[in-house]
Amino acid sequence: MAILRTSKSRWIVGTIALLVISVGTLIGLPTNGQKQHLPINMPTTAAVPYFAPVTPKGVVPNDVLDALLVPKNSTRTSWHNFDQGSGQFDREITIAVHASYASTKSFFDAALKDMAWRILSSQPLGKGYEILALHSGSDGHFWEIGVTIAQNPPNAPKLPTSSEKPGGSTSATLRLLQYVSA
């Protein structure tokens, strides 16, 4: 290329390339800025006790666990430890949310944004919906949460309906992953 024949022009092009890469990287980093204070359609509770069977104290920083909310009165139905204590943290819980699919989807969309998680993607997934979000922890790691909401979970118990709250039960799986460094 004719523009790269002199050392000065190579220096300018290199500086511009470095600037573009730096700005792109900064834009891609999650910021745990201010909470958004979005209206959440259901009462919330901390996810800490739901993750207790698979999360020894101190493994996940408190600021990450405190930023995870689940609908109040949900029931943990299962949990899984994918990393088995070797490598990066990779564990999940499944909860039964005593609300409709649409309400559960709306809850997690708003709750993650409200608690300063950076939404990476949210999309329909087969017979459900998936949200991937990122949060940087005080431990220097990025943490990703994947929330998969099943539209018609098998063997879901139907709860009594009332005029105020639609009945039904929706299954939501929350998978928490740790990245190497922030």
Residue-wise pLDDT for 66-103, tens only, equals 999 999 999 999 999 999 888 889 999 999 999 999 99
Strands 90-97, 118-124: parallel, antiparallel or unpaired by DSSP?
unpaired
Give the pTM.
0.72
H-run or E-run covering 64? helix 62-66
Tell me the average pLDDT across 109-135. Answer: 94
> What φ, ψ does residue 96 adopt, rounded to 5°?
-95, 120
Q: What is d(CA 38, CA 60) in angstroms, rounded to the nearest whole number? A: 25
Contact at 8 Å (CB) between 84 and 56? no
Residue-wise pLDDT for 143-158, tens only, equals 999 999 997 655 555 4
Residue-wise pLDDT for 21-74, tens only, equals 654 444 444 444 445 566 788 999 999 999 999 988 888 999 999 999 999 999
CB neighbourhood size of 110 (10 A): 18
Contact at 8 Å (CB) between 167 and 161? yes
> Which is nearest to 182 in space by CA: 76, 28, 75, 54?
28
Residue 17's pLDDT band, with cuts at 50, 70 and 90, is low
